[in-house]
Structure 1
Amino acid sequence: MCRWLAYSGEPLRPATVVLDPQHSLVAQSLNSPLGNETVNGDGFGFGWYPSGAVAGSIPALFHSIEPAWHDTNLRELTGAIESPLFFSHVRAAAGPPIQQTNCHPFRYENWMFMHNGFVSGFAAFKRELVFAIDPSLYLELKGTTDSEVLFYLALTLGLRENPMAGLAAAISLIEKVGREHGVAFPMQGTIAVADGATIWALRYSSQGATRTLFHSADIEALRELYPDTAWLNLFGKAAHVVVSEPLNDLPGAFLEVPESTFVTLDASGYHHQPFLVAA
């Protein structure tokens, strides 16, 4: 469906991971070896928290319906700013039209959200899901994707208080309503959420066969293993990325996130938990 990347660590020029690596996100938009769609050219998005921003700061967004590989503004922007936490996403549309409001990441207050996957049979029960969104959030819906509806359902059901519980409740509702409409496996995807300080990532599908998800290994450990690899020195000790697929072929640089796993990435590093959805 799509490819995405989330970075957290010392302030960094986003181009360092979005554009420059061997298998950068922009390179993956042209050729995604681990994706279900090789080409992801139906628009892209980039969202970032400014350097020095205080807790609760609202992230900035840049969306375009151009292919990521063709957009000079993306190159200018990611080469000019620095950010300690940013998201980037390249899209392969699977039904909803190609328009800026359908490009990830989505934003509500200080929260960002992006998704690679789909809600199977979404059109048949979209109305029920949209009506389950809290009325105070309903007017925030701008696009037509299942991903954006999932985000606002999770906000409605407690994402801001407990991201894992909020996502679990939203996915449980989607599975319940989907199965009532004859869809055996309603949910598919990997998800990233951030509040400006922490990134939460999820790999889950109703069928137990989810799109790929990886995160980087510890930079200091990689420097010890590969002391002559100069590009590792571009990153600080706290630098971490969560990605749909690895950005390079360096052995041990990226670790696959297991199926049905919820990952918290904060100042202390990665923390994995089993992700369970109520029957």
Structure 2
Amino acid sequence: MCRWAAWQGAPLFLSEILTAPAHSLIHQSRDASECKTAINGDGFGLAWYDRRPTPGLYRDVYPAWSDPNLRSIADQVQARLFMAHVRASTGTATSRNNCHPFVHGIWSFMHNGQVGGFERFRKAADMMIDDAHYAHRKGATDSEALFLVACGMGLESDPKGAMERAVAAFEAKSRATGTTPHMRLAAALSDGDTLYAIRYASDDHAPSLYYRWNAVWQGWSVVSEPFETAGEGWTEVPKGSFCRFTPTEVEVSPFDASTSLEKAA
């Protein structure tokens, strides 16, 4: 399992979340507390938005705690919206192309979780990616494939519906293999204006997900686990939820892949 953090609001130095807190994302890369794997050392990545519509992207295969370039970037880069991820591989190789976030056009996406039996239907998953997006398939992860499938299912015009359809299609393939857990997902995605987050699972073990308004920084922190050990003021996202964060507001609605799952089965 992986750990990730995102920010939406007034411009903020990345270090305020990545390195400064007692339980920062970099600290979580070697001592996570709310996932089975405490160590998340199979690479890291950043995507950030400021004055351009497309995101900046920095990914590498080193453990986040050992890369001085990451700390330097975090100290100097200020962004109004950013996403950061530390990876614990569930089977695919440690390579830059397999590190999150994944970017296509103005969109960025990162994921924590797993799709049961993906190695058995990886070819079928790739075939779900339409021709317009397949050239952007660079790695081998279930996460990147899920993102590109969602891009082809209307992500730009209907982020929630596209993700429900893509998740349902993957869950249906997983159920067909008989491998559990079929789907566990805590994901974040953005078009540079709005930050979206999803918490979903086909069983009772959805990956953890929290958010909090920061009155001092004037924005939303959205995280796999709180970056203060006390954890005060954080709201846990209910399982089966789709969150929409603007710079000042949050909207939480049900995320239900079941209807799409019936069609995909």
TM-score computed with the length of structure 2 as normaliser: 0.94
Select which of 213, 222, 237 maps to 1:242. 222
Query: 1:169 and 2:165 equivalent?
Result: yes
CA deviation string 1:205-234 (max 9, x = no partner): 111321100001x333xxxxxxxxxxxx4x
Q: Is the 8 A contact 2:150 2:165 kept in 1?
A: yes
CA deviation string 1:231-269 (max 9, x = no partner): xx4x1x3x1110000011345321111111111001341
Structure 1: which amino acid aligns with 2:9? G
Determine the C-alpha separation between the residues in 1 that align with 2:181 and 2:27.
31
CA deviation string 1:125-174 (max 9, x = no partner): 11111101111111100001010000011111111111110000001111
Q: Residue 69 of structure 2 corresponds to which residue in structure 1? A: 73
| Displacement after TM superposition at 1:184 (Å) | 5.1
Select which of 72, 89, 108 maps to 1:93. 89
Runs of 4 or more, structure 1, over 3 Å off, are: 249-252
SS at 1:143's partner residue?
coil
Structure 2: which amino acid aligns with 1:27? H
Select which of 252, 258, 270 maps to 2:250. 270
Q: Is the 8 A contact 1:22 1:248 kept in 2?
A: yes
Structure 2: which amino acid aligns with 1:31? D
Query: 1:84 and 2:88 equivalent?
Result: no
| Displacement after TM superposition at 1:109 (Å) | 0.2
Query: 1:209 and 2:176 equivalent?
Result: no
SS at 1:17's partner residue?
helix
Aligned residues: 259
SS at 2:22's partner residue?
coil
Structure 1: which amino acid aligns with 2:24? S
Determine the C-alpha separation between the residues in 2 that align with 1:36 and 1:158.
33
Structure 1: which amino acid aligns with 2:46? F
TM-score computed with the length of structure 1 as normaliser: 0.90
Determine the C-alpha separation between the residues in 2 that align with 1:169 and 1:26.
33
User: Which of 1 and 2 has greater Rg?
Assistant: 1
Q: Is the 8 A contact 1:175 1:185 kept in 2?
A: no
Further displaced range: 12-21 or 172-181: 172-181
Q: Residue 28 of structure 1 corresponds to which residue in structure 2? A: 28
Label 1:177 to 1:202 Cα distance change in 2 as closer, same or farther (>3 A): same
Determine the C-alpha separation between the residues in 1 that align with 2:116 and 2:221.
28
Q: Residue 10 of structure 1 corresponds to which residue in structure 2? A: 10
